[in-house]
Structure 1
């Protein structure tokens, strides 16, 4: 788990980290059976649904910081579940639904709301404890006179954190959960860098996009964006100069990266992910695979079909015109130019064709720096 130090105490880096740990240890902490997490029902999203041994439903709402409205939130979950009664094969709705709030501390308003509420809601207070070698989660049931305590060790990874930077929003963490570890680390590093750059920088979230700029209005100036396509694949956009970043005029540029700091500015997209660019990249990738097979295998079934080589030269000439005009090339366009066409034994005019080698890639970190500086100048 990711833990951060705040003053003399420790806490989970994000609410998602807290939820991950509680979900993985429901049996040991509470004796519950995990059922669903982030469960959507009638417009509400419940953090965790669990069961007792007798199939009684338990709803757990977790907060990584003080929250004055957790009782009202649990009430809405209760109403949605009672009305629709989902998962009836697994849940015994003849028994009352148990509601549990888990927080590091409770505001006095929470106790007032609970005092006059007709539903039974249990308050559990948690803390992250540390000794010389290990970290532990301690949970107390505040509704018992003896404050029953559960303690469990936390496998951890310490992370430094700028206290001025808010934790990643739940939506972003949910998206990152489906990404590779390299993508997760890369995106969180860029986010940290961007939000640390200037006090005016804000994070603007939507269903599939997380933008960074000075505000969310028609007059806003953006510098970076993480966009997640229909398959959950993250795409990075930076606001860079036109004409392959040589112009002072700024536009939204799509960035390719191998998540090892190698990057390319692939083109400019005003909105969305650039469906035309996506289609072209997919088509070129297929052609590259075919041409590599022709180049490496004299008995390839494609070698006798000239439509493939003819199309290759059309693509090559189109890409070379872009290269000569200093237009950005996609990763696939670069790879197509690196194919050794002289191996095709179909070189026209008897001359050899140059093979282009693109050893130099931009630094992703460097492109982010450029986008930040350009953003500050625009402000």
Structure 2
């Protein structure tokens, strides 16, 4: 098992870890908006506060699996037991009408919880999201169930570094801290109350002089949407991403072994043309006495690798360079990273221009001239690469 899951804990520790996870929920500030970190966190909030948010409804079942469909909330009205399906979205979703229509069909075929729900009444289909696309309204108008659909927008706002949600004309408290606000620099310090048990075991194995930088970096990674924190069975690795498998997106990994404490980031790389978003895993060799997790540390080498960084393989003036099969130097100096990543790879070049400058195709001559100078003067401090990894992460989630 590459990374630990809650099943790895004893029954007592599972309960304890669940309490910690619940106490550790957060909102994140990204793209000028405050949102729940994940759709699951939004569902948790709605479930925990359901009677206050929807006093006229009864929550019958969360995450109802029916005929290979999975609807978020099955409810009914208190007055006449009319069936209500609620689908929650943490971001705009153009396919929500067809999704709710499928749930409606499955529900009417199975008629679950018939003792609580009156299936002689029409099924009310409710979508709750921060915004709705024009296509949602077009699909709604084209549906023969148009009169059964309700679109309810919500908005999350900052109030003393905790959130307030506006929904259906009313405002409710969200007692979660907000990560990533530009005007607020969260001082994580070394307050470990509320850290998951797996993370506590990891941090307990690293030198205390690294704790403050680790906590700051962890806060930054967990401020990004859909990021989960996973720990290896030996508590020597922390992975940040959507999951551990090959098809999951990854943002960063921190490893702590006998060879030292290392940060790995998933960054743009040289790639074959058929790769949709050219990304690879890079480790960092820092200047002597620089902190391995500090954004101010100076980078001496980037190492493109899926495994550990082996200093014995560090190139010398007398060794031939090694390349990955996609053409990226396995070891490169910071000021040559951008040039190496984009040599012969136009897709990577366009990706980096988008991430760094916000420029999309077509590329004008002035931009190309700027790029030719910039790509050989890549910054050499670790924070630049951390910021690039975060921009890459959010680009991949689009």
- TM-score of the pair, normalised by structure 1: 0.45
Structure with more relative contact order (C-alpha pairs < 8 Å, separation 6 or more): 2
Please tell me whether Structure 1 or Structure 2 has the larger radius of gyration of its CA atoms. Answer: 1
